[in-house]
Amino acid sequence: MRYEQISSLEAFLSQVEERLLAPEQRVSVSFAPSATSPWDGDALALANKSLLAKVLGSANLYAIFTAACGETKHSLRYFGKTTKKLARQRITNHLFQKNEKTGSKLAQVIAHACEGGTVEIAWIEVHPESLRNYLEEELILRHAEADWNRENRVKIKATVHGALPVLAGQLQR
């Protein structure tokens, strides 16, 4: 079967994308140096209590952005989805401390924060909630720069590895 109203879904995706990526939608995550070396996830979660309270029950699609130390322009790194009920725990897993069973971006966040970089997060709530799966997948496809998403890491590696033989051939000329 083929869904015939794909244009309405694509229009909704574009609205979601615009809202989720808007700079005014982002919230800065606090990483006090005293809690990053050594990493103290409990202290960091406590320092970001208001952010986590806002996420609770109001997020089922989110994006993570980073900027290098001293930079003001943040780059999109990751799209994720969760249920509204689990949003606080999922964001905590990504940013502060994780359960070993989850596939979160904590390792990347720790490395980035320990280098003095900054992190921002944006989230929205979509209805019906089941649409979050479609929206996340399509956003990842639209944004190859979201390199913490494994789907885009594979593309980036394939592009780089695919370019190597071409580059080697050019060097031999």
The DSSP call for residue 102 is: S
List, in sequence order, every residue forming a beta bridge with 36; answer none if it has no partner: 39
* Strand, helix or coil for residue 4: coil
Residue type, 157: K
CA 145 – CA 35 distance, rounded (Å): 29
Q: What integer pLDDT is reported at residue 154 of this predicted model?
A: 58
Q: Which pTM does this prediction carry? A: 0.85
Q: Enter the tokens of residue 99.
A: 């359960």
Domain spans in the chain, listed from the N-terminal domain onward: 6-172
Q: What is the mean pLDDT of residues 104-118?
A: 92
Could you read off the pLDDT of 129-170 as tens digits, one per residue? 999 999 999 999 999 999 999 876 655 444 444 444 443 443
CA 47 to chain centre: 20
* Strand, helix or coil for residue 27: strand
Which span out of 98-102, 103-107, 142-146, 168-172 was modeled with the highest average pLDDT?
A: 142-146
